[in-house]
Structure 1
Amino acid sequence: MPFARKPNEARSPRHLYCGLAMCHECFEKEMRLENEEGKHRCVREDCFDNPNFAFYLINVLSQEDSLALSPLGDALQNSLNVQFVTMNIRIKHFHLLDFLNELPMMTRQMEGMRNPRVCDDCKETRSIDKMYHCNKCDLKICPDCLIEEHLSHEKTRLWKKALCEMTEAQQKDTANVVKTYNDLFAGMHENILKPLKAFGTKLTSKEENCMNISTFGEAKKTLEKCAKLREDFETISEKLIPDLRRYETKVKILTEAIDKDDYQGLEDGF
C-alpha cells in the first residue's frame, strides 16, 4: 500500500537505519518481533532504533505530481515517465534527500527542454512574444502560419499561456513546500512534547521518592543528581529557543517582503 503524505498516521513512512522504509503500523509491529519472526530480516540489530518518521519521504510524497507508483507497483515514475527502479537500493538517506529536493526543478528543466519556442507547423524558431497557441489544434504557431492555416481558429498569445502555466506551477510548488513544513513541524512538535512531558514526570517522581530513602546523605545525593539533570534540561532548551525565535522572525520578514518589489533575499541567509 502507498505511504501517507504526512506524519503520525498508520501509513506514514518510518526510516530504518539500514536505509529502507516501512509504514508506521508495520514498523511498530515488526520492532516487537525477533528477527527471524518478522518480514524485515536484516543483519543490522539497530534497524528499529530510529524513533522518527521519514520526513525526507513525506517531503517528496506531498508534491503530488513529482512521483507516482508504476502499474507494477515495484518502481517509481516521475511526471516525465522516467521510471526509477533503484529505490530499494540501500543508500544513505541524505543522498536520497539531496536528489529528491532537486527532482521538481530537474523535472521542470527537462519539460522546458522538450518545449522550445518552435512553430509546430513550419518548425521555425520565433520569439515567444510573437507566437500564438491555437486552441483548436493545440499547436504552437508563428504569425505566418497563423495567417495561412489558423486565422479562423480561437487562439491565445503564447506568452500569456506560458505565463499562466508557470504561475500555476509555482503556486503548486509553494503550496506543497508550505504544506510539507507545516506537517513536518506539527509532527516534530508532537515528538518533542512527548519526551518533554515524560522527562518532567519521571524527574519529579524521582525527587518525590527521595522521601523514602533511609539516610539523609543518600537522599541528598539523589536530589543533587536530579538538580543536575534539571539544569542540563534547561541548558539544552535555552539553546534551542533562540533558533526557534530567529525562525519565527525570518518567516515574518519573508511574509512582509511579499509586498515589496525590491526583495533580494535574506541578508545572512539564516
Structure 2
Amino acid sequence: MKVFESLNCIVCKEPFARVANQPRSPRHLCCGLAMCHECFEKEQMLAQNERKHQCVPCYPSTSPNFAYFLIDVLSQENALMLTPMGYVLVKPFKIPECPICQDECQETTYSSYCEIKCPTCNRFSPAKYTDVNKQKDRFHGFLNELPEMTRQMEAMTKAHAFIIAGEKQHATRNVKDECSCNECHEENIIDKMFYCSACSFEICAVCAYKKHRLHEAIPLFEKQANQMLMELQEESRNVIKTYKDLVPELHKGLLEGIDIFETKLLSKEEILKDTSTFADYRKKHESFAKIKSTFESYAEDYLPCLRKFDTGVNQLIQTLNETADV
C-alpha cells in the first residue's frame, strides 16, 4: 500500500506526529523539505560530512520552527490514517483554502517574504513558515501525491462496498422464501408457485390452471433461481475484478519502493570502501546492517498476511474442485 512520502521525515523516513513539540513533530527546513524534530537535533550535532541531509543553511536555526502547514494537514485525522509505514488516505481530503478568496490552494506558490500567494485572487496571506523552494516544498509534494492516493482510497472503498452490498443482498434473499399470488393473494412457498411470463405474474397452481393455462408458465423456483444465479455471478465478477485491479496497483507502489530502497542502500554501502580505520568501518557496517534488518522486519510483518491470503484462495479452489455442494 502506498503512503504519503511527503508526510514522512526525510532522514529516518518515519511518519510525522500530528502536533508540535514532540520528537516526531515536523520541522520546516530552509530548503523547503521537512525533518522530524528528533532527527534535526541529532543531525545538528554532527559534522557537515556526517549529516544525511547535506543542506548547510538548514541547520543554523535555533528556534524549533515547526512545520505548521504539515501539522494542519495531519490534523484531518478522519481523512489520514496512520500505519507503520506512514499515512494513507481513507476519506476525501479537504484541501486548505485561501483565507482571502476561500478557493482551494491547489497551485499554491510562495513568495520570499513568508507569504502564500493564492492562484485565484493573486493576493498574499501570511504564512506560518519560512521561505521555501517551490520545487522541494513538502506541502506542494503532498498536493502532488494527493490524486494518486485518492485513487487508491477509492479502489479500496469500492472493494469494501462490493463486499457489504453482497452481504446485504444475500441476507435479504434468505429472509423471504414465501410470496403471495398476484391473482388470489394467497400466501404460499415459492416451490409451489408459478411465474406467467406473458403477464409477469407470480401465481399459485390453482390460478395458473384457471386463468393462465393458455400462457407459458414456469415454476417460480426456476425463475427465482435463474435470477439469483445471475446476480450471484455478477457480484462475484465485480468483487474479484475489484481485487484483481486493486492488488497489482498496491503492489506496484510497494515494488517501486523496494527498488528505490535497494538502489539507495547499495549506493550508500559503497562508502564502506572509503573508511580509513577498522573501527570506522565496523560502525558504518553495523549502521547499514541495522537498516537492512529493519527492512526485513517490515517485510516479515507484511508477508504473513500475504501468505494467508494466498493460502486461503488456494483452499477455496480446492474446495470448488472437490465438491459442487459448497
TM-score by length of 1: 0.60
1:187 corresponds to 2:249: yes
Match of 2:179 among 107, 117, 120: 117
Structure 1 residue 250: Cα displacement: 2.2
Q: Which amino acid aligns with 1:58?
A: A
Counterparts of 1:1-270 in structure 2 under 5 Å? 16-17=79-80, 19-20=91-92, 33=108, 37=118, 52=149, 55=152, 57-59=154-156, 61=158, 101-107=163-169, 109=171, 117-212=179-274, 218=280, 220-261=282-323
Structure 1 residue 110: Cα displacement: 5.2
Structure 1 residue 183: Cα displacement: 1.7
Q: Which amino acid aligns with 2:214?
A: S
Give the Cα–Cα distance (whole angstroms) in 2 for the partners of residues 225 and 110 of structure 1: 59
Structure 1 residue 58: Cα displacement: 2.2
Gaps (5+ residues) in structure 2? 3-77, 81-88, 95-104, 110-115, 121-138
Give the Cα–Cα distance (whole angstroms) in 2 for the partners of residues 216 and 222 of structure 1: 10
CA pair 172-261 structure 1, distance change in 2 beyond 3 A: same
CA pair 110-183 structure 1, distance change in 2 beyond 3 A: same
Q: CA RMSD in A?
A: 3.9
Q: Which amino acid aligns with 2:291?
A: L
Structure 1 residue 38: Cα displacement: 7.3
Q: Which has the higher strand share?
A: 2
CA pair 201-263 structure 1, distance change in 2 beyond 3 A: farther
Q: Is the 8 A contact 1:133 1:140 kept in 2?
A: yes
Query: The residue matched to 2:242 in structure 1 has which SS?
Result: helix
Q: Deviations over 1:216-261 (max 9, x none)?
A: 6555433321121112212332343344333322211110101334
Structure 1 residue 144: Cα displacement: 1.6
Gaps (5+ residues) in structure 1? 1-6, 8-14, 23-29, 40-44, 63-96, 265-270
Q: Is the 8 A contact 1:21 1:54 kept in 2?
A: no
Structure 1 residue 136: Cα displacement: 0.7
TM-score by length of 2: 0.51
CA pair 189-108 structure 1, distance change in 2 beyond 3 A: same
Q: Which of the two has higher C-alpha Rg?
A: 2
Query: The residue matched to 2:214 in structure 1 has which SS?
Result: coil
Q: Deviations over 1:64-103 (max 9, x none)?
A: xxxxxxxxxxxxxxxxxxxxxxxxxxxxxxxxx5x77423
How many residues are matched? 204
CA pair 100-129 structure 1, distance change in 2 beyond 3 A: closer
